[in-house]
Amino acid sequence: MNTAMTQFCTRPQANAGVHVQLKSPITGQDTEHWLLVRGQDSDEFRAEEDAARRRIQDAMAALPSDQRNVAKYVELTKAAKAEDKLLGAASLVAAWSFADVPCTRENVVEWLRDAPQVQDQIDMVAGDRALFLASAAPPSTDSPK
């Protein structure tokens, strides 16, 4: 792949993740805790999106044929949306500073369920491709004076 093409490759940096300082839900100030957050182009997040679609398809397939219609699909999709958003955010957490709790999928899901403000922070960071690409960009040179 040539250099011009690699500038569009977001997956490697999305998989590597970026360090995110957690903010206090009370003061909004940075705390000593952090997360390593993957980007929306990461393999983990893409796999979770696929799994969410499969869960809805499986739920539809489990219905009697006379109940499989667009309205039921919309109903199942709406019902799954919050849980799928939570699972998607959890798939973006690669590591954390909570040394006494292993950073497993189950632990991240449980914690994010009770810390929706962190889930929002993860979503904002993961969707900002520039954060991930900036971490891989070569240092710029000074412009001529």
pTM here is 0.81
pLDDT tens for the chain, 145 residues long, are: 788 888 888 999 999 999 999 999 999 999 999 999 999 999 999 999 999 889 888 888 888 888 888 888 888 888 788 899 999 999 999 999 999 999 999 999 999 999 999 999 999 999 999 998 876 555 445 544 4
Rounded (10°) CA dihedral 13, 16, 19, 24:
100
- Per-residue model confidence (pLDDT) at position 46: 96
CA 82, 83, 84, 85 torsion-angle sign: positive
- Per-residue model confidence (pLDDT) at position 143: 42
> Would you say 11 and 132 are in contact if contact means Cβ atoms under 8 Å apart?
no
